[in-house]
Amino acid sequence: MEKYGRAEVERWCWEVWNEANIGYWRGTPAEFRKLHDYAIDGVRHALPTARVGGPDSAGHGGQWTRDFLEHCLRGTNYATGRIGTPLDFVSFHAKGAPTYVDGHVRMGIAAQLQTIDEGFRLVASFPELKATPIILGESDPEGCAACQGPQLGYRNGTMCASYTAASFARKLDLAERHGVNFEGALTWAFEFEDQPYFVGFRSLASNGIDKPVLNVFRMFSQMRGRRLAVHSDAAVPLDTMLKSGVRGQPDVAALASRDDDQLCVLVWHYHDDDLPGAAAEVTLSASGLPLAKGSAQIQHFRIDQDHSNAFTAWQRLGSPQQPTAGQYRQLEQAGRLSVLGGPAQAEIVDGQAALRVSLPRQGVSLLVLTWKGTAR
């Protein structure tokens, strides 16, 4: 508080340990709960309004997490002797499981979603936690950011981008299914300084050059207002994805939001297998817009082989490990979120609008429709 100020520190989330349900903790579960109680008590003595929680388990944690939550809700606090330990949020980790099959990467989105599904179910089983925020403290396609290998070849290109779009949307679906308060998820990534360009670590940028996946988060950041219902006849059903991932037809689906003068639709074309495939010809229909008649300006942001993709730009330059100043500027520009095509308009009739989009395999589009005026 002396260094950053009370208002800043009150925004932080405090927890005690990382993945104490596996080898990062060498004591017993009871000893961890004791440490947790004393640490949280110390934080709250320093700042009574501090936001505290946990346990940030590896995976959903199963019985280990259940015992932790039971202790926090109904057990005797080791530090205070009273019943319960403050729990402002619940956190756990969820990872996918990519493999290398027949010469290509095969993602394991089912593994990550299964962990989230079970974790949400576990929290929902405690009535006291119905409104408690859940934070996925690490939420990634796999569990080792610093590891390398052929099964991790998805990291530099568009596959990581489309996986992120598809998986984040399903996290929201699972939260709705279980009736829990899903606050957010964090990606576990590092800078990996003084490493070769695009060497294959899980990161958001390589030597200061943004990767395609970072542009998915930029797309998310433009979405505001309330979430809308989306129906796609090419979406893989949630239960199918939980059971077997995306191994048959691709997942062509969307996430949408709207405020008073803007509609945002994030569309992806995802498949677990990193193999060539035909583009998805998408017809997008929106209804219930506040204009009975008029037009909307369209901005179309795109991530694919040629847009918002510094990795393929780097390859086209010959994969230089010591790019010139001019080449570096090109890569910086290529890594930014880019617009597909020039300004366009969508006609609105009876509060409805329709668009057509050709979306390459593993591509992601964000369509932003903006209008002015009121219904007439």
Q: What is residue 189's predicted lDDT score, i.e. its pLDDT?
A: 87
Reported residue count of the chain is 376
Q: Answer for the pair 358, 281: CB distance below 8 angstroms, yes or no.
A: yes
Closest CA to 280 of 238, 254, 250, 308: 250
CATH number of 88-370: 2.60.40.1500
Whether cis (ω within 30° of 0) applies to the bond prior to 29 is no
> What is the structure's pLDDT at 209?
97
Q: What is the pLDDT of residue 374?
A: 47
Pairing of strands 51-57, 13-14: parallel
Nearest alpha-carbon partner for 353 in 293, 305, 312, 313 = 293
Q: How far is CA 266 from CA 202, 253, 374, in A?
A: 23, 8, 25
- Taking the C-alpha atoms of residue 337 and residue 309, their distance in angstroms, rounded to an integer, is 8
Q: Are 171 and 116 in contact (CB under 8 A)?
A: yes
Domain boundaries, the chain: 88-370
pLDDT for the residue numbered 376: 32
Query: Could you list the pLDDT tens digit for every one of the 376 residues in the chain?
Result: 999 999 999 999 999 999 999 999 999 999 999 999 999 999 999 999 999 999 999 999 999 999 999 999 999 999 999 999 999 999 999 999 999 999 999 999 999 999 999 999 999 999 999 999 999 999 999 999 999 999 999 999 999 999 999 999 999 999 999 999 999 999 888 889 899 999 999 999 999 999 999 999 999 999 999 999 999 999 999 999 999 999 999 999 999 999 989 999 999 999 999 999 999 999 999 999 888 788 999 999 999 999 999 999 999 999 999 999 999 999 999 999 999 988 899 999 999 999 999 999 999 999 999 997 543 3
- Strands (E) across 243-340 are located at 251-259, 262-270, 280-286, 293-303, 338-339
3-state secondary structure of 234: coil
| Exposure letters 258-279 (e unless 16+ CB within 10 A, then b) | beeebbbbbbbbbbbbbeeeee
Is residue 356 within 8 A of residue 282, CB to CB? The reply is yes
- Is 9 within 8 Å of 1 (Cβ atoms)? yes
CB neighbours of residue 340 within 10 Å: 19
